[in-house]
Amino acid sequence: MKRLVGLLGLLGGAILLMAAQPVPRSAGPESPIERGRYIVERVAMCIECHTPRDGSGSLITTRLLQGAPIPVSAPPFPNQSWAFQAPAIAGLVGYVTEEEVQLLTQGIVTRTGKPPTPPMPRFRMTRQDAEAVIAFLRSLK
């Protein structure tokens, strides 16, 4: 019995010690803008096509997301449409938020009613992620 009480006391002490420790902060971004930056730069990789490159092929970060020639050659299929220029998306000038949400959540653009031209993927983000991406892109004005 004494052993059981001792174990319970030790366990209770460990629980109190754990409760007194600060809870580790999430490794993820905290603000919508930072979450959007993370998605744009690390997940969706928008910077790879929408940011110009220098002569050695490195991204010109001072012109982040300001539009650029597509760095990937079109596939050798005669009927495959292919974008050769990625538009500027920094600031999202001329876009309506709901159009952008639909592009990022459903893969369509309401102005044209057509899906994006490859190599642009048809994203299926959550609305929260799409709104975070939009917040980040709008912050780049």
Residues 9-39 pLDDT 10s: 444 444 433 344 444 445 555 899 999 999 9
Query: Does residue 41 lie within any of the structural domains?
Result: yes
Whole-model pTM: value is 0.75
Contact 127, 28 (CB under 8 A): no
Tokens of 109: 């653009």
Q: DSSP secondary-structure letter at 73? A: P
Please state the domain count of the chain: 1
- Residue 28 has a pLDDT of 53
Query: Does residue 17 lie within any of the structural domains?
Result: no
* Domain enclosing residue 67, as ranges: 29-73+82-96+127-138
Query: Does residue 69 lie within any of the structural domains?
Result: yes
